[in-house]
Chain A
Amino acid sequence: MSEPTEAGRKFLDEVNEFCGYKARWLVKYDEPTDPRYGWVPWERPTDKYIEYGVINLDKPPGPTSHEVVAWIKRMFGLKRAGHGGTLEPARP
């Protein structure tokens, strides 16, 4: 296996372990990934790392979730950010 292929498999395992997700991988094509394209997420350059990032934020109790997201957006100078908090789901 080439380096990013091995690192990619390790990263996918980390993603599953993050919330204790249990599943078995069924392999269809055991082939390597070309190091010229994309990045293993931990190795993204700084700007891309932010663009594809999430923050598990310990929200301070005073401000609303929307206010906190607006601050984060401004601190990073981003156009878009969103939270997975108190927003009520629109039922499908």
Chain B
Amino acid sequence: MLPVALARMTRVVGSVIHSSKEYVCVMQLHAPVDEDRLRSVIEEFVGEIYQKPPVRSSVKRALRTKRINRIELLEYTGKYALLHVDCEAGTYMRKLCWDIGLVLGVGAHMRELRRTRTGPFHEDKNLVRMQDVAFALIRLRDEGKDDLLRRTVLPGEFSVCHIPKVVLRDSAVESVVHGAVLNMPGIAMVQDTVKKGETVAMLTLKGELVGLGVAEASAEEMLEVSKGPAVRPKRIIMEPGLYPRMWKKKSSESPGRSGQTS
């Protein structure tokens, strides 16, 4: 499975790949080991681990730490172990299998791999095939009907599911789209998971993604405080011109100066 972001949504995929992933993989052991022993060694790999990226990898081969949230042994035949792994993005499954083999003392390598989740995207939810995309586009072009397309493509807002959210009042949207800081009076609602200094998704009251930013205050402060900065924008997704400009235009002798929030 591979989440593909179209056009404007391309700019949010970074925050999706920076989050956790799940895999199902087949590990082949080079000699059989006792199942209880395999289970206890697997447990040792849960938590913060050191991992050096494999020879064939797309990053610098330096030792680094990665977080493994969960490893479940789904099946074990004595030769093959079927594992379900939930881990931080950038963890190599090939290397994990190799290292489990080292600790077991018999050696092991990865035989097969399938990713089952990338950030908020699960393989069992709204998964579409290339041919579904092709049919949807043919129907749109030849018959002018977008019904299949609307079932094939999802609103990009779903890709920020796992990020704490701040909802803006209509009056604050356009200034944030132009890059201004979101100030306290521009907030309509906030999720209680918002933490100061962490990434938040900014959305409109209609649910449209305005962009991503860094919270300058906690959820409670955003609710109680009536002035000052609330979110500093990092990536703006929404195009300008959808919501009204609420800031005052400077007089005609100094045109083009803008960016004040309410």
Contact = CB atoms under 8 A, between A and B. Distances in A.
Range class of the A interface residue count: 35 or more
Given A39-B206, A41-B155, A83 B187 contact: no
Contact of A46 (B59, B146, B155, B206): B146
Given A18-B158, A27-B189, A33 B206 contact: yes
The B contact surface, by secondary structure, is mixed
Contact of B8 (A37, A51, A58, A89): A51
Interface residues of B, number: 81
Given A19-B120, A42-B155, A54-B153, A33 B205 contact: yes
Given A8-B205, A28-B190, A46-B140, A55 B7 contact: no
B137 A84 contact: no
Interface string B200-240: 00011111110000000001101100000000000001000
B204 to A, nearest CB: 6
Contact of B190 (A7, A25, A40): A25
Interface in B35-70: 57-59, 64
A17 B206 CA distance: 16
* Chain A CB within 10 A, most for which of B90, B125, B159, B204: B204
B106 interface: no
Contacts of A44: 155
A35 to B, nearest CB: 9
Contact of A50 (B149, B161, B165, B191): B149
B196 interface: no
Contacts of A16: 161
Contact of A34 (B5, B13, B170): B170
Contact of A53 (B64, B153, B162, B173): B153
Contact of B128 (A24, A39, A58, A83): A58
Given A26-B219, A37-B244, A54-B9, A85 B3 contact: yes
A60 B207 CA distance: 32
B207 A15 contact: yes
Interface in B135-178: 137, 140, 146, 149-150, 152-162, 164-165, 167, 169-170, 173
19 contacts: A8-B205, A11-B155, A18-B125, A19-B161, A21-B162, A25-B190, A28-B189, A31-B188, A41-B157, A46-B149, A49-B149, A49-B153, A51-B9, A53-B154, A55-B6, A55-B153, A75-B134, A87-B58, A88-B57
Given A29-B188, A84-B13, 13 more contacts: A7-B206, A8-B204, A12-B207, A19-B122, A26-B220, A26-B222, A28-B187, A33-B205, A37-B243, A40-B207, A55-B6, A55-B153, A56-B127
Interface of B: 1-11, 13-14, 16-18, 57-59, 64, 89-90, 115, 118-123, 125-130, 133-134, 137, 140, 146, 149-150, 152-162, 164-165, 167, 169-170, 173, 187-193, 203-209, 219-220, 222-223, 237, 242-244
